[in-house]
Amino acid sequence: MLRLYTHPACLQHDPGPGHAERPARLRAVLQALDHDRYAALDRVEAPRATREQLLRVHGSNHVERILASAPPAGTTFTLDEDTVMSPGSAEAAVRAAGAVVAAVDAVMSGASQRAFCAVRPPGHHATRDQAMGFCLFNNIAVGAAHALAAHGLRRIAIADFDVHHGNGTQAIFEREPRVLFASSHQSPLYPGSGGEDECGVGNIVNGTLSPGAGSHEFRELWDGVLLPRLHAFKPQLVLVSAGFDAHRNDPLADIRLGQEDYAWITERLLTLARTHARGRLVSSLEGGYDLAALAASTAAHVGALME
């Protein structure tokens, strides 16, 4: 059975009118999953991440700044030109990170084999000491560090198919050989990192897509480069940064994928998990900014995870 982790607090993070990372994103995802096809989802309320869990990947000054920066009602607080906090942002952020931690515990205990975290704010741009790119805490990194510390795993794979490079996840783990980070992303594009020469300690695998690339280039990159490296690593757990902003209709990038491509990559990652990780896979929502495209792509991803 597939577990779905979410929390109403994730809708209360509101960067303000006109911001791409808006509450309507999560509402669109949840509405798409409110359908008979998804009736079998095991829906669970996301807990809060603890300070201990956050501090495994973030510095104490960063954690305290986010937790203490909630602005007064009706106002916002700007962390950088893209990243804004509202009164509900800190609670949303600890629930988003906590969802991934809880999902890791569920798949490691056998309570569920797979999980999807429908949460926001997203996480993969957040570095150890900096919120950026709409991200406050690095949700997937918090989950990976928890799997290392609490479950004693020796090999964790993070697959990131968001159209933007997960610079925060790479920076957090680039000296951690127990974590393999594999990413496909458009280049050039924000945040300007993710070159194929960025290899960490042999545990970073970046694959770049040129503006205008589509299904063929995306699938060729995963089948020819990224998935072989992931299989060679033989992960004991597969984590997925599931961004859907490489869709052809997304306003923030120039890659031309459709929802069928997200079903395809999900099936490939499930095969990876079944082959090496006893089927254990946890996915967490990252980007995706056209509401219809996001809803359809997430539905395709979750539908594949349920198979």
Return the axis-axis angle of helices 89-109 and 60-68, rounded to nearest 10°. 120
Select which of 7, 13, 124, 125 is catalytic. Answer: 125
- Partners of 241 in the β-ladder: 160, 284
Q: What is the sign, positive or negative, of the torsion defined by CA atoms of 277, 182, 252, 125?
A: positive
Q: How far is Cα 44 from Cα 14, in angstroms, rounded to an integer?
A: 23
How many Cβ atoms are within 10 Å of 49's Cβ, its own excluded? 26
Within 13 A of 169's CA, how many CA atoms are on the CB side? 35
Phi-psi region of 21 (alpha: psi -120 to 50; beta: other; left: phi over 0): beta
Within 13 A of 208's CA, how many CA atoms are on the CB side? 14
Q: What are phi and psi of 4, to 5 degrees?
A: -115, 115
Distances (CA, A) of 296 to 46, 106, 301: 23, 26, 9
Q: H-helix or E-strand containing 208?
A: strand 204-209
- Partners of 183 in the β-ladder: 160, 206
- Single out the residue of 236, 239, 250 nearest to residue 284, CA to CA: 239
Q: What is the sign, positive or negative, of the torsion defined by CA atoms of 140, 65, 49, 244?
A: negative
For 73, the token pair is: 């009602």
Active site residue 13: no
Active site residues: 125
